[in-house]
């Protein structure tokens, strides 16, 4: 979807575009919350199985990110 020039849009069109953007942001926030919960659950499972594996995973992620 190409962005329209805000200077050529009416107030109603701008408000409509803003509401659409707000809905999209809200949807993405919900998705991120669900993904975060899933990641935390999996991290908990990994640490329950083997704390050593969890530590190696954290070290690998740190090395991969170059931190």
Does residue 64 fall inside a structural domain? yes
Task: Note the pLDDT of residue 14.
Answer: 94
Query: And the tokens for 66?
Result: 């170059």
Does residue 48 fall inside a structural domain? yes
Q: pTM for the complete prediction? A: 0.55
How many domains does the structure of the chain reveal?
1
Does residue 5 fall inside a structural domain? no
Query: And the tokens for 23?
Result: 């809905």
State the Cα–Cα distance between residues 44 and 30, nearest whole angstrom.
21
Does residue 42 fall inside a structural domain? yes
CB-based burial label for 57 (10 Å; 0-12, 13-18, 19+): middle
Angle at 59 between CA 64 and CA 46, to 5 degrees: 110
pLDDT, one tens digit per residue, over 31-57 is 999 999 999 998 888 777 766 665 666
- By the 8 A CB rule, do 46 and 54 touch? yes
Does residue 66 fall inside a structural domain? yes
| CA 9 to the chain's CA centroid | 30
């Amino acid at each position: 979807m190409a962005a329209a020039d805000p200077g050529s849009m009416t107030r109603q069109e701008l408000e409509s575009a803003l509401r659409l953007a707000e809905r999209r942001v809200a949807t993405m926030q919900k998705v991120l919350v669900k993904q975060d919960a899933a990641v935390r659950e999996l991290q908990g499972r990994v640490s329950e199985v083997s704390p050593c594996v969890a530590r190696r995973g954290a070290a690998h992620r740190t090395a991969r990110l170059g931190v």
